Amino acid sequence: MSNAKGDRRERELVNELDDAGFAVMRAPASGSATDRELPDVLAGNDGDFYAIEAKSSAGDPIYLTGEEVEALVYFAQNFGAKPRIGVRFDREAWYFFHPGDCYVTDGGNYRVKKETALADGIDFDELTGQSTRTQLDQYDA
């Protein structure tokens, strides 16, 4: 993914969170403008605070280094936010994962496949509290 496309996707996420009523900011040039590792997006609303590392892809699996995820979790804990990995595949919506719910490769990197995002990811409405997920096993037969 090019930096321009990644920047555009991050701005898109910021605008969607803003439209959903969140106070939100994008960390400019996160990771490169400072020695401190910063998440791509910080968002908060009514007691819910998120530190989000946002990634997008045309369709290939999305990978994050172990160091990226470690820095996200560290920052989120110190800031009092929930760490989330936000992924967006072309022609799909945003999906979110807690880092602990992502697949970890033998090399210590984190991977999210498109089919995993669509099947198991938290969608934007659920992240922002506009809907909740109900599993079939939550219904009495």
Residue of higher predicted confidence among 3 and 87: 87
Please tell me the predicted confidence (pLDDT) of residue 132. 65
Catalytic residue IDs: 30
Note the pTM of the prediction, 2 decimals: 0.86
**Binding region for Mg(2+):** 10, 40, 53
Q: Please give the Cα distance from 13 to 19 (Å, whole number).
A: 10
Binding-site sequence positions: 10, 40, 53
> Of 70, 33, 34, 35, which Cα lies nearest the Cα of 53?
70
Specify the CATH class of 3-138 in words: alpha beta
Domain chopping of the chain, boundaries: 3-138
Please tell me the predicted confidence (pLDDT) of residue 5: 72
Q: What angle do CA 122, 28, 47 make, to 5 degrees?
A: 45
pLDDT digits (tens, 9 = 90+) for 81-129: 999 999 999 999 999 999 999 999 999 999 999 999 999 999 999 999 8
